[in-house]
Amino acid sequence: MNPIKPVIIVHGGAKTITEDKVEANHIGCRAAVEAGWEVLSNGGSAAEAVEAAIQVLESDQTFNAGFGSTLNSEGEVEVDAAMMDGTTLSWGAVAAVQGLRHPISAARRIMEEKPRLLVARSGERFALEHGLAMCSKDDLIAEEQYQEWKEEAEVIDRPNTVGCVALDIHGNLVAATSTGGTTGQPQGRVGDTALVGCGLYADNRLGACSTTGDGESIIPVVLAKTAIDALAGDRHPQEAAQHAIATLKDRVEGEAGCILIDRQGRIGWAYNSQHMAVAYRTDELSEPATFIEKE
């Protein structure tokens, strides 16, 4: 039997990327893939790899997750994150939490301990009790986001969610997604990111998917599960991704994107926004391939 070759893909959100942000999107997505690849190429698990990749994106103010998240109506960073394991179908999520350096790490610990969605104070308490990195909620506010919120400026480069999918050498697929939500969202609003089937899905029998875009549009079409179901019959992930985005366009309005890896390690992605920052790495590449548009 051929050994399983690891694969990793990340997205930095379905959005419009203005010229001055192109390089930062390439650099950030590349760094995230490199962090995840380091784990996978040393035999680490897909869960560890997606956590490492998303931590990089959560630390980079180019992206709407962790530090640099968009601000809610109260001028606060309030975030959601989730992870799902394709072997066990275990999952974990936090929503509307504040003061977590890496919400994705809380989602992973919850997934490994007991599948649940922990909201607001219960998610924050879980992170604290599990020794995860905490900070003042103001420490997650980037200057650019604060100025936009204060001036109520029209956000052209609307940042929108990060995600990662990985296949490890054991054949396990994991999906993860992390977001600061939408600009000026009401306190406590939660979109698709924390919801299994919508913001992410992983099942080793088919594949794994992370989505990005307008939560209110992604939820009714259960975007991640729609993409995964479209892999049936060994359909290529590129076709499945396009099918999922076409379904969203047919049924609801809104912008979205998705990234997929199937059980054979094939990748695909699609979006209906102007751009989507994507990077991936396979065994056949000597370095990550990065994109802001599908060629």
Active-site residue set: 161
Q: Helix, strand, or coil here: 280?
A: strand
- Please state, in angstroms and rounded to a whole number, the distance separating the CA atoms of residues 37 and 56: 12
**Residue 183 lies near ligand GLY (rule: CB under 6 A):** no
Q: Where are the alpha helices (DSSP H) in 130-213?
A: 143-151
Q: Which of 96/240 has CB closer to ligand GLY?
A: 96
**Residue 215 lies near ligand GLY (rule: CB under 6 A):** yes
The type of residue at 226 is: T
Report the candidate in 280, 257, 284, 286 with the shortest Cα–Cα distance to residue 267: 280
Part in contact with ligand GLY (CB under 6 A); list of ranges 84-92, 207-215, 231-239, 287-295: 207-215
Give the residue, chosen from 124, 168, 192, 255, that forms a contact with ligand GLY under the rule CB under 6 A.
192
Give the residue, chosen from 193, 204, 282, 290, that forms a contact with ligand GLY under the rule CB under 6 A.
193
Give the residue, chosen from 68, 99, 103, 181, that forms a contact with ligand GLY under the rule CB under 6 A.
181
- Please state, in angstroms and rounded to a whole number, the distance separating the CA atoms of residues 71 and 55: 19
Strand 207-213 to strand 256-262: parallel, antiparallel, or no bridges (unpaired)?
A: antiparallel
**Residue 182 lies near ligand GLY (rule: CB under 6 A):** yes
The type of residue at 157 is: D
Report the candidate in 223, 226, 218, 196 with the shortest Cα–Cα distance to residue 86: 196
Please report how close the Cβ of residue 45 comes to ligand GLY at its closest, in angstroms.
26
Asked if 268 contacts 18 with a C-beta cutoff of 8 angstroms, the reply is no
Please report how close the Cβ of residue 201 comes to ligand GLY at its closest, in angstroms.
14
Q: Which of 172/210 has CB closer to ligand GLY?
A: 210
Please report how close the Cβ of residue 280 comes to ligand GLY at its closest, in angstroms.
21
Part in contact with ligand GLY (CB under 6 A); list of ranges 66-74, 163-171, 209-217, 226-234: 209-217
Give the residue, chosen from 66, 92, 123, 191, that forms a contact with ligand GLY under the rule CB under 6 A.
191
Which residues, 150 to 179, sit near ligand GLY by CB under 6 A? 161, 179
Radius of gyration of the chain (CA): 17
Q: Which residue has the tokens 């892999």?
A: 231
**Residue 25 lies near ligand GLY (rule: CB under 6 A):** no
Give the list of residues 6+ apart from residue 116 with CB closer than 8 angstroms, or none: 92, 93, 110
- Site for ligand GLY, rule CB under 6 A: 161, 179, 181-182, 191-193, 212-215
